[in-house]
Amino acid sequence: MALSLLAVVPVRAWAPALVGAFHVQPEVVPVGVSFLRIVMLGVPAGAALFVMIASLRGAGDTRTPLLIGLVVGVVNVLLAYVLIFGRLGLPALGVAGAAIATTVAFASGALVGLALLARGKLVLALRGWPLPPRVDVIRRVLRIGYPAAIEHLLMQVGFFLYIVFAAHHGTAAVAAYFIGVRILALSFLPGFGFAAAAATLIGQSLGAGRPDEAERSGREAVRLAVRLMTVCGIVIFVAARPIARLFVDDDAVVTDAVSFIRVLAACQPLMATDFTLGGALRGAGDTRFPLAAVFLGFYVCRLGFAGLVTFGLGLSVLWLWLALVGDYLVRSVLKGWRFRSGTWKQVVV
């Protein structure tokens, strides 16, 4: 939570430049700046919430994070409706209302999580709060956590750059990107779930001195994730155009969205492998290798190829989307090699 505060001030200060990087219409910039600055206020609460959820999952409790997630979702949807459209006697705030709803939802989730942990009836509990700092624990957390933190930071910066590349293909490409990501989230979620399961089971098995069971858990999680996400990908690939039409009527946006959706759908087996094995390695405390895989896959393959086809060769947006294939192929192959090597079993946590 303390580290997340370091991102709040610079992002709020540079909000106009960050929004302007997407080459949006001038009248859109103030709206985007307002949204970004408000949402950033919820980052510390969101960071605390994510740590609590990850801790509970690591201890084997996946139901409480689900409950907290439902609270966040309900608060976000209801408050967004009230604030965006000006219900219950409140003024209509539009985009700013959506940002406020998101910020309050994260804060609500963090408060619910703290309250549940303070009750002492979960697998984890907060006792003797505030807890005295322990240097040895802080060192272990930083040793394992800093590569994962850098990995997620690189991912977010990479997503930003990828969208900037898309903006050079026009506003239709940017709209298509966000539509495609929203649609494919239906397929992503199982992958995230299996990644969390793999991290929990492998961490517990290694802690109990059963490395063979840890490996079996990881392999089974990958199999289940690949099967489920592949089926979802096939359905979405076939129905890409009618699904895109549910979000937008503009023909140019629909065309770009369909191509993006189908490329992402074709990547589902690779993404399932990447997500799940990433969770497995992190659960074993091997957080440095996923960081290296993200750098090679995302930055070298995806952004390198995307920059070449966008600025060097001037090819169509389809080639920008195809950069995803190389990214997820490299990441899944590298993580698969690492998992099969068994090196992660000897990582000292």
Q: Report pLDDT digits (tens) over 54-111.
A: 888 878 788 898 899 889 989 988 999 899 888 888 888 888 898 899 999 999 999 9
Q: Evaluate whether 165 touches 307 at the Cβ level (below 8 Å).
A: yes
Average confidence (pLDDT) over 199-214? 90
Residue where the block lists tokens 């969208």: 163
Task: Assess whether pLDDT exceeds 80 at residue 218.
Answer: yes
Q: Report CA-CA distances (Å) from 123 to 68, 193, 228, 259.
A: 15, 20, 30, 45
Q: Which of 60, 37, 345 is nearest to 212 (CA)?
A: 345
Cα 131 to Cα 126, 128, 134, 199, distances in angstroms: 8, 6, 9, 26
Q: Which residue has the higher pLDDT, 233 or 29?
A: 233
Query: What pLDDT sits at residue 265?
Result: 95
Answer with the residue of higher pLDDT: 333 or 77: 333
Q: What is the pLDDT of residue 134?
A: 74
For residue 5, is pLDDT > 80?
Answer: no
Read off the pLDDT band of 7 (50, 70, 90). confident
Mean pLDDT of the chain: 89
pLDDT over 90 at 248, yes or no: no
Instruction: Round to whole Å and give the CA distance between 51 and 314.
Output: 42
